[in-house]
């Protein structure tokens, strides 16, 4: 039996996925969590073989959770299963140690097959996302530019962002200006929107 951990903050989605996967004779769901920061401990406690992770979760996003899981429980394979099929997410997930990346509207049979293939050590990637990923390329944003854009999402002033990130206002302005230029945006709000749309920034 392949032992599965499901991580998704939407209980209804998690429950439906568990019910579908439990119908497969060789798959069993041994743990379910609703937060990214609970993934590694649950995988270790329940000896999960494959973790199915959503991207957007409280506590820790799914990509960061995949990175922690890869470090702490390297025997557990990771399959990202998300509503948000964004090219940038795919690249970040693979860099974090994920073994596969598919979207939630994948038919149940294909989802089960993806789990089996990931368990065998194979890479499984949604083909449309793979094509998008090649078209968009790697994120041009530095880690600090991403931090500043993330902090700018709520519409705070430069002073607010500087306080939150413990940077000078001048440094914040420089990072915002650079991020706006790299995304081809006209305003910081547009830069945030564009970065989220292609998956360079996880909301």
Confidence of residue 129 (pLDDT cuts 50, 70, 90): low
| pLDDT above 70 for 87 | no
pTM: 0.70
Q: Is the pLDDT of residue 134 over 60?
A: no
What pLDDT does 32 receive?
Answer: 97
CATH of the domain at 184: 1.10.10.10
pLDDT tier at 142 (50, 70, 90 boundaries)?
confident
- Asked which of 76-90, 130-144, 184-198 is least confident by mean pLDDT, the reply is 130-144
Asked if residue 203 is part of any domain, the answer here is no
CB within 8 A of 102, min separation 6: which ones? 79, 80, 81, 110, 111, 114, 124, 125, 126
User: CB within 8 A of 16, min separation 6: which ones?
Assistant: none
20 & 112 share domain: yes
- Whether residue 66 is found in the same domain as residue 165: no
CATH number of the domain that residue 51 is part of? 3.40.50.2300
Mean pLDDT of the chain: 88
Same domain? 97 vs 192: no
CA-CA distance, 165 to 180, in Å (whole number)? 18
**74 and 171 share a domain?**
no
90 occurs within a structural domain = yes
């Amino acid at each position: 039996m392949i032992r599965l951990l499901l991580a998704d903050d939407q209980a209804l989605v998690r429950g439906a996925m568990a019910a579908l996967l439990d119908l497969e004779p060789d798959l069993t769901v041994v743990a379910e969590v609703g937060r990214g920061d609970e993934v590694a401990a649950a995988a270790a406690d329940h000896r999960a073989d494959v973790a199915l992770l959503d991207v957007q979760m409280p506590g820790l996003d799914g990509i960061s959770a995949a990175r922690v899981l890869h470090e702490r429980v390297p025997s557990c394979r990771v399959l990202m299963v998300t509503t948000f099929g964004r090219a940038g997410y795919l690249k970040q997930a693979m860099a974090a140690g994920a073994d596969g990346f598919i979207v939630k509207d994948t038919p149940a049979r294909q989802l089960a097959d993806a789990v089996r293939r990931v368990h065998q050590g194979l890479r499984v990637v949604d083909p449309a996302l793979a094509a998008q990923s090649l078209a968009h390329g790697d994120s041009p944003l530095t880690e600090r530019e991403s931090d500043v854009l993330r902090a700018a999402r709520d519409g705070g002033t430069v002073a607010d962002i500087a306080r939150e990130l413990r940077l000078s206002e001048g440094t914040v302005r420089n990072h915002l200006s650079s991020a706006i230029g790299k995304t081809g945006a006209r305003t910081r709000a547009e830069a945030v929107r564009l970065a989220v749309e292609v998956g360079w920034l996880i909301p």
